[in-house]
Amino acid sequence: MISFEPVGEVAVLRFDRAAKKNALTPAMLRDLVVRIAGCNSARAVVLSGAGDVFCAGFDLTLAKDDDGALAALITELAAAIGALRDVPVPVVASAHGAAIAGGCALLCACDFVVADQASRIGYPALRLGISPAVSAPSLASVIGCGPARRLQLDPGVISGAEAARIGLVSDLMNTPAECEPRAIDLATALGRKPAAAMAHTKRWLNRINPLMESGACEAALRASLEGVGGTEQRRLLAEAWSRT
């Protein structure tokens, strides 16, 4: 579900479910955590997706008659966010095409994000009654609390260009096809820097981050889990399935 390709000393991890726009399953997210743990000896990581889009978010077909699956998706997403943040090497995401909901949440935990101008980024899962709060501490750490509020409370999507303007995207490309090569180039350059200095600097930045104070990530996870199985979420999901 996650493919691994070494490119020099860079570990390229790709969601490998192109036919489903790399929609996330709990197993994929668990696999991601395992793969990241295996990247400790690489010099940098690229997180990308096979095919046209980086990631379309949760595979909600799993949650159709199963609240437990949605809870598992959210819980495993929190673990993946933590793993990306804590891995002691720089992580570069290739957010080509789209990074929706859970896909957007993963971007927040990466150190650099490459996206194309027209990439679609945001949290439309709010329309299904799913709160993106689980990624709020990471998102606010990257772009600040004000822009994070605007993005987390708006069920629309923004373009890669707008995401670059507010600081979520660090490298803006013209086309989706340019994103992953650029991410690999950037990771290669970062991977050539002294490893200990990079690891210590990343760890230190995590430690001095006031938004990651004790309990914040747990509270964020609880906020996203709160609505699972609730009347509103069931109604909104049922309405969405009746349309498809």
Q: Minimum distance from CB of 166 to other proteins (Å)?
A: 8
Q: Minimum distance from CB of 181 to other proteins (Å)?
A: 31
Q: Minimum distance from CB of 144 to other proteins (Å)?
A: 5
Which residues are near other proteins by CB under 8 A? 126-133, 136-137, 140, 144-150, 152-156, 166, 211, 216, 219-220, 223-224, 226-227, 230, 232-233, 236
The residue (of 1 and 126) whose beta carbon lies closer to other proteins is 126
CA triple 158-161-162, angle to 5 deg: 45
The residue (of 126 and 195) whose beta carbon lies closer to other proteins is 126
The residue (of 148 and 183) whose beta carbon lies closer to other proteins is 148
Q: Minimum distance from CB of 182 to other proteins (Å)?
A: 26
Q: How crowded is residue 65: how many other Cβ atoms within 10 Å of its Cβ?
A: 7
From the CA atom positions of the chain, what is the Rg in Å? 17
The residue (of 119 and 135) whose beta carbon lies closer to other proteins is 135
